[in-house]
Structure 1
Amino acid sequence: MALKRLQDMALFALVAESGSFTAAAQRAGLPKSSVSQRISQLEQAVGLRLLNRTTRQLNLTFAGERYLIHCQEMMQASERADLAIERLRDKPGGRLRITSPAGIGATLLARCNAEFQLRYPDVTLEVSVSDDMRDLVQEGFDVALRTGKPQDSSLIGRRVGLCQRLLVASASYLAQNPAITHPQQLATHRCIAHRAWKEWLLRRGEEYHRWLLPSVHLTDNLLYARECALSDAGITLLPRFLTEAPMAKGELVQVLPEWEAEGNELWLVYPGRKLNSPALARFIDFAQHSAVFRAFYR
């Protein structure tokens, strides 16, 4: 079989996984027109249509579904060959693409990655720090840090641990506003909330208080919420790793310390076949056991 046919089979698998010529072209580093042309040439070579094309989406034909299985097997064989060589060298390399929420990415992940690269200097890291939910397969990410157990059954999740969350505010804000001794009084205070958390659940022994958040001051970024609290804007709920330093300096004070807030789980999430990458396998193991994460996630 000609080398070009093998390359076109790999490109077809990339298009099928990405769901569009545009996304596949970006991942392959090729013009969209070249990708479309090469898939058409592949269809001519095999004598059957592999994709149904519309202006909105691509769908595999029955022949395309059958052909994709063999193309993926070819790709997996290639990845296994690379893995065998990497294991012989015991020195993983290549590029590792990671996406993470901003709060974790700009703090814990940055520290973890600094240590990871000292141990594995041949691995190139490309990190997206954003609270947007990125599509791992379509955008070509190897692994994501996610808060909460993953719901997508096509992805594999490894639990890192559970992090305590604290209600905090600046000492100045608390001094200028009515004292707060019970969660019911949160309704009389200014609060800054992450829009992904529809409620704050607090517990004291057997007593629970569930407060549905009003849409007064919402954000999709915990670093923003922390900065607001530091600027005397109100009370916010943050994971402990974002509160430790400002609390040690007296810049933030814990509110209702006798009430325990619901914890925040952290997971490493990745497409199943990506674990063939030695760099990813090493990163997952490294992050799960990293002292940086273990200090806050149990």
Structure 2
Amino acid sequence: MELLNDMALFVEVVKARSYRRAAQTVGVPNSTLSRRISGLEKAIGLRLLHRTTRKIELTEAGQIYFERCRRIVDEARLAHEQLGEMLAQPSGILRVSLPVDFATTYLASKLAEFSRRYPGISFEFDLTPRRVDLVAEPFDVAIRMGELPDSTLIARKLAELPRYLYASPRYLELSGEPGGPADLEKHQCLCFPRGDVWTLHRGAQSVEVAAGGRFRLNSIGMMRRMAGLDLGIAMLAEAIVAEDLKDGRLRRVLPQWQAAPISVHAVTETRLLPAKTQRFIEFLSECLTRT
């Protein structure tokens, strides 16, 4: 058991690239952590880490050992938790990185149900457009929308959200109802800064239209809000505007036409997930599927 504990400490040091940060994470003194890693190296008979005043780097042997240790440590933690699930519901702090607009306009209204279902889970949500480092930062999962860059991370597709055009009834009353995609060029279109061409599909038919207007913005939430304030037509995921449609603040424009759906992924550093993370991913997939 002591060997497994030392392997777990070694994994934390490599992830943090710092004894000090790793010591804070695991809650042991920096000196104790350093001594345990030195003892591990002596037991193995090989240097695992290059230590400098500024950072820590893996040796060739350390890289091989880290890849094996990480899998072993994850398996051991998962085994403990799976046994614990026989006695209790998932618990602990769930740390999630989320796109700002997706979290505030869609997920916030769903969290009450999840928190009631799993009262042992506490939450830390980081709402940010940046792509957090799931290896070096203490996140359990990151929710990402759109195409994902190639990486060694594990991505699970949760859903593909249909996207349509929406405007307020008042805007359409003042500006007229578009009869076809070409008519959008005469309207105020709420676009991303580099999104002035919209591609729309109707069955096998596809058209591109110049989407012009006074407003360029990089926030889905702001687009939704401005469309509801009679300022133009927005291209939005159906899940994002469900409440606006229900309350009559928005309605669909050119209902037979739609844009390419946008993918929603759950991204993790490993396939071996604790129960709290598994339940959250399953819950979110369930919500998006029934939307």
The amino acid of 2:41's aligned partner reads V
CA distance in 1, matches of 2:282, 2:77: 19
Kindly state the Cα deviation for residue 35 of structure 1 after the two structures are TM-superposed: 5.2
1:46 pairs with one of 26, 41, 50: 41
2:120 pairs with one of 122, 131, 138: 122
2:171 pairs with one of 145, 170, 173: 173
Q: Say whether the 8 Å CA contact 1:180–1:186 is kept in structure 2.
A: yes
Kindly state the Cα deviation for residue 84 of structure 1 after the two structures are TM-superposed: 3.9
Q: Say whether the 8 Å CA contact 2:190–2:216 is kept in structure 1.
A: yes
Q: Taking structure 1 as reference, are residues 258 and 36 closer, same or farther at Cα in structure 2, changes over 3 Å only?
A: farther
3-state secondary structure, aligned to 1:64: helix
Q: Taking structure 1 as reference, are residues 274 and 112 closer, same or farther at Cα in structure 2, changes over 3 Å only?
A: farther
Residue matched to 1:201: 199
Which is further off, 190-199 or 83-92?
190-199
How large is the RMSD of aligned CA atoms in angstroms? 3.6
Question: Where do residues 19-30 of structure 1 align in structure 2 (5 Å cutoff)?
Answer: 20-21=17-18, 24-25=21-22, 28=25
List runs of 5+ in structure 1 lacking aligned partners.
Answer: none
Kindly state the Cα deviation for residue 223 of structure 1 after the two structures are TM-superposed: 0.8
The amino acid of 1:46's aligned partner reads E
Residue matched to 2:142: 144
CA distance in 1, matches of 2:213, 2:27: 45
Q: Taking structure 1 as reference, are residues 91 and 238 closer, same or farther at Cα in structure 2, changes over 3 Å only?
A: same
Kindly state the Cα deviation for residue 227 of structure 1 after the two structures are TM-superposed: 1.2
Q: Taking structure 1 as reference, are residues 30 and 199 closer, same or farther at Cα in structure 2, changes over 3 Å only?
A: farther
**TM-score, normalised on structure 1?**
0.78
Question: Where do residues 233-272 of structure 1 align in structure 2 (5 Å cutoff)?
Answer: 233-272=231-270
CA distance in 1, matches of 2:27, 2:32: 11
Residue matched to 1:191: 189
- 2:291 is the counterpart of 1:293: no
Which is further off, 123-132 or 171-180?
171-180
Per-residue displacement from partner, 1:20-66 (whole Å, max 9, x unpaired)? 439944971769xx759944873486265434467987542112213
CA distance in 2, matches of 1:179, 1:217: 20
1:278 pairs with one of 275, 280, 287: 275
Structure with bigger helix share is 1
The amino acid of 1:253's aligned partner reads R
Kindly state the Cα deviation for residue 109 of structure 1 after the two structures are TM-superposed: 2.4
The amino acid of 2:99's aligned partner reads P
Identical amino acids, percent of aligned pairs: 31
List runs of 5+ in structure 2 lacking aligned partners.
Answer: none
Q: Taking structure 1 as reference, are residues 183 and 132 closer, same or farther at Cα in structure 2, changes over 3 Å only?
A: farther
Q: Say whether the 8 Å CA contact 2:144–2:266 is kept in structure 1.
A: yes
Q: Taking structure 1 as reference, are residues 192 and 21 closer, same or farther at Cα in structure 2, changes over 3 Å only?
A: farther
CA distance in 1, matches of 2:72, 2:130: 33
Q: Taking structure 1 as reference, are residues 177 and 93 closer, same or farther at Cα in structure 2, changes over 3 Å only?
A: same
**TM-score, normalised on structure 2?**
0.79
Aligned pair count reads: 288
Per-residue displacement from partner, 1:261-293 (whole Å, max 9, x unpaired)? 222222222222441x1222222233333xx32
CA distance in 2, matches of 1:104, 1:119: 21
CA distance in 2, matches of 1:25, 1:215: 51
Question: Where do residues 93-112 of structure 1 align in structure 2 (5 Å cutoff)?
Answer: 93-112=91-110
Q: Taking structure 1 as reference, are residues 232 and 128 closer, same or farther at Cα in structure 2, changes over 3 Å only?
A: same
The amino acid of 2:168's aligned partner reads S
CA distance in 2, matches of 1:212, 1:52: 56
CA distance in 1, matches of 2:80, 2:141: 19
Q: Say whether the 8 Å CA contact 2:157–2:264 is kept in structure 1.
A: yes
CA distance in 1, matches of 2:281, 2:183: 42
